[in-house]
Amino acid sequence: MRSKTDDRITAAAQGPDPTPRRDQAASRAAAPARETPARYSTLGRVMPELALISLFMNVLSLALPLVLLQVYDRILPNAALSTLGLLVLGIGVALILESLLKLGRSTLTGWVGARFEYLTGVAALRRLLDASLKDYERTGSGVHLERLSALNTVKDFYAGQALLSLLDLPFVVLYLSIIWLLGGWLVLVPLGLLTAFAIGALIQGHRLRQAIGERMDYDDRRVNFIIEILKGTHTLKSMAMEAQMMRRYERLQETCGRGNQAVTLASSTALGLGAFFNQATMIATVGTGSAIVVAQDMTVGGLAACTLLSGRSLQPIQRALGVWTRFQTIQLARQRLLEIFRTPPECAPGLPEPTDVRGALALEGAAFAFTEDGPDILRDLTLQVAPGECVGISGGNGSGKTTLLAMMSGTLKPTRGTVTLDGVSLHAFDQRKLKRHIAYLPQQGELFRGTILDNITMFDPTRAEDAIAQAEALGLGPIIAAMPLGYDTPIGDGAGETLPRGIRQRIAVARALLSRPRVVLFDEANTAVDGRGDAALRAGLEALKGDRTMILVSHRPSLLNLADRVFDLDDGTLTPRGQPRAATPTPAATRPPAPPHTAGQAGSPLQPRDDEAPRDARPRSGFGRRGTAP
């Protein structure tokens, strides 16, 4: 089981970026820090059209009350059937026009919503992918998933649903004005009830927001737990932990159920409040208006028109307060989505890409601690690695080997000191472009859903020939050829994945070496590989020796024998083992510069080491504090 410290350097998405358009993605890596979802809404472009449509719709809605007024006051007393036919025809045309306008308005808002969802969804995921590992891992995967899911809730708000309700609100004054013209002080009845309804809806909306906030917190915990269960299914079953996990999940589900109950109750109360005031307004208007008709201060037609207008006047307010009630959910969802856009990019915009990389790697007084007040995991490390040199590093569990390679790859920034490539600090370069020149080979490489060839080529079909050649160099050719679909064999995930772990690991290594990186960081990447595969990996590394700078972290003598120098990492410091071997390459000053190579290595984020757990209670080296299994 992994320690908490292991999880701090777990890769956000191990393996290379599965999009071939790396340069385009890199150019967007430093998106504006003030970027918000509102930037991707095109509602302003269609605002005039929506306002004009709303105007005509509300004017046409007056047709029915005015027709009733004429029918009761003039047509029925005078038996004017010909006039009645014209009125019916006119009201029919008005209803058709109103329906067409509603359809047009829905089409506009639907287009705005779909475009907003696409642009914002792409931008949100880009911000997550461009975030530094440290910022990404401050929250669990379930929280990131919930934040991305909040887009569906926010979409309607930025698509104009709230705006439509606001556009209809001014016409409440028009409806009440007509009631006042027809019934005089009768207008006070719907006006008073509308005011009471608005106050009640505001109070209930505040309660609903509290209930929704609590439910979201409960859902975050539940989703995080489910993700942990799905990731550790094999371990869970091998240790017969199903019953214990079920008890934990039952408690989480119970709190979620209570939260859902509170939200449902608050929502139902708000809906019931609207239905009550809708009927109460109609009844109160009819009752009060009847008394006015009996007093002969208003006609029957006027009463019928006022009754319809009172109901119409309540509808925009109901919709607006319904939006206000939903706005509690929208506001919380919007805050969650904004957390993604507040995530700073891993590197500042405009940083250069390393050019003419020779591979001289150096640590100059480098130290690292996970927190400002925490102990140093690595301290005062000084190491000069010449271009083409092979350095072996060995150390016990928790000695900090993976953390050291994380600094050498630029994934972790040293607390003190510097790590340089060809004399320039790693963090003076664009980190995405830097990873093209530094390949990290983790203990357990992660593959993505797709085919074997997709994973080796990093989903770039133009590199298929090079990918096949690299796979052949690592001895994967005969193995893949024996599969029915060859390089088109699909790779899945979960318990149903049949591809052996050792083969998956060799595929990940082939992917990392595909772009001919100048620096290779080998973090016991042969742990899950069988004897034949280990020999193939060793042969591949031996072929790179002298041409690529290599840092080999391993306990196996067969690999350490490849190294020109071997160091032991203990208590956060590097100690040379013996004397430099005779095969030490020519110093960097006299070595001819290596030719430039094509960029393309996306770099695999670091996978935590299973054996990286501190050996005693004292925070020593490696990952520092004692960790407990998640």
pLDDT in tens, 517-533: 899 999 988 887 888 88
Query: Of 146-150, 180-184, 331-335, which has the strongest mean pLDDT?
Result: 180-184
Nearest Cα to Cα of residue 132 among 613, 607, 614, 605: 605
Bridge partner list, 425:
420
What mean pLDDT comes out for the span 42-50? Answer: 83
Q: pLDDT tier at 553 (50, 70, 90 boundaries)? A: very high
Q: Cα(453)–Cα(104) distance, rounded to whole angstroms? A: 47
CB 594 within 8 A of CB 518: yes
- 3-state DSSP assignment of residue 533: helix
pLDDT above 80 for 393: yes
What mean pLDDT comes out for the span 65-87? Answer: 83
Residue bearing the bigger pLDDT, 45 or 386: 386
Nearest Cα to Cα of residue 367 among 419, 402, 429, 420: 419
Nearest 5°: phi and psi at 163? -65, -40
* Res 582: pLDDT: 41
Tens-digit pLDDT profile for residues 307-326: 888 888 888 877 777 777 67
Question: pLDDT > 70: what percent of the chain?
Answer: 82
Helix, strand, coil share (%) of the chain residues, nearest 5? 60, 10, 30
What lies within 8 Å, CB to CB, of 619 at 6+ separation is 374, 375, 625, 626
Let me know if 233 is exposed, middle or buried by CB neighbors in 10 A (0-12, 13-18, 19+). Answer: exposed
Cα torsion through 314, 317, 323, 325, rounded to 10 = -80
Mean residue pLDDT across the chain: 78
Token digits of residue 160: 């104009």
pLDDT above 70 for 377: yes
Token digits of residue 440: 């990290």
Token digits of residue 258: 């209570």
- 3-state DSSP assignment of residue 179: helix
Bridge partner list, 419:
363
Nearest Cα to Cα of residue 281 among 270, 293, 291, 289: 289
> Does the structural domain 32-341 have CATH classification 1.20.1560.10?
yes
* Res 347: pLDDT: 67
Token digits of residue 190: 């719907």
Residue bearing the bigger pLDDT, 492 or 522: 522
pLDDT above 80 for 368: yes
Tens-digit pLDDT profile for residues 116-147: 888 888 888 888 887 777 667 667 676 777 78
Q: Cα(134)–Cα(344) distance, rounded to whole angstroms? A: 11
Pairing of strands 450-451, 549-553: unpaired
User: What Cα–Cα distance (Å) separates residue 281 from each residue in 115, 295, 311, 556?
Assistant: 40, 21, 7, 84
The CA-based angle 209-213-218, given to 5 degrees, is 150
Let me know if 524 is exposed, middle or buried by CB neighbors in 10 A (0-12, 13-18, 19+). Answer: buried
Residue bearing the bigger pLDDT, 471 or 43: 471
State the pTM of this model: 0.62
Token digits of residue 447: 């593959």
CB 585 within 8 A of CB 546: yes
- Superfamily of the domain at 361-445+516-576: P-loop containing nucleotide triphosphate hydrolases (3.40.50.300)
Q: Cα(341)–Cα(144) distance, rounded to whole angstroms? A: 12
CB 310 within 8 A of CB 339: no
For the ranges 96-110, 128-142, 268-282, 427-441, which has the lowest average pLDDT?
128-142
Q: Cα(347)–Cα(572) distance, rounded to whole angstroms? A: 27
Nearest Cα to Cα of residue 66 among 312, 318, 319, 294: 312
CB 463 within 8 A of CB 543: no
pLDDT above 60 for 157: yes
* Res 142: pLDDT: 67
CB atoms within 10 A of CB 617: 8
pLDDT above 60 for 580: no
Bridge partner list, 521:
440, 551
All structural domains of the chain with their residue ranges = 32-341, 361-445+516-576
Nearest 5°: phi and psi at 196? -60, -40
What lies within 8 Å, CB to CB, of 283 at 6+ separation is none
What lies within 8 Å, CB to CB, of 49 at 6+ separation is 108
Q: pLDDT tier at 40 (50, 70, 90 boundaries)? A: confident
CB 38 within 8 A of CB 158: yes
pLDDT above 60 for 244: yes
The CA-based angle 619-380-395, given to 5 degrees, is 55
Nearest Cα to Cα of residue 39 among 346, 347, 343, 337: 337
User: What Cα–Cα distance (Å) separates residue 249 from each residue in 64, 212, 355, 541, 598?
Assistant: 56, 21, 52, 46, 50
pLDDT above 50 for 165: yes
The type of residue at 76 is L
Q: pLDDT tier at 612 (50, 70, 90 boundaries)? A: very low
For the ranges 165-179, 336-350, 416-430, 612-626, which has the lowest average pLDDT?
612-626
* Res 33: pLDDT: 44
* Res 616: pLDDT: 37
Q: Cα(431)–Cα(132) distance, rounded to whole angstroms? A: 9
DSSP state of 185: G
Assess whether the region 32-341 and the region 361-445+516-576 belong to the same CATH fold. Answer: no
Residue bearing the bigger pLDDT, 326 or 253: 253
Tens-digit pLDDT profile for residues 266-301: 878 877 887 888 888 888 988 888 888 888 888 888
Provide the CA 613 distance to its chain's centre, in angstroms. 30
Q: pLDDT tier at 114 (50, 70, 90 boundaries)? A: confident
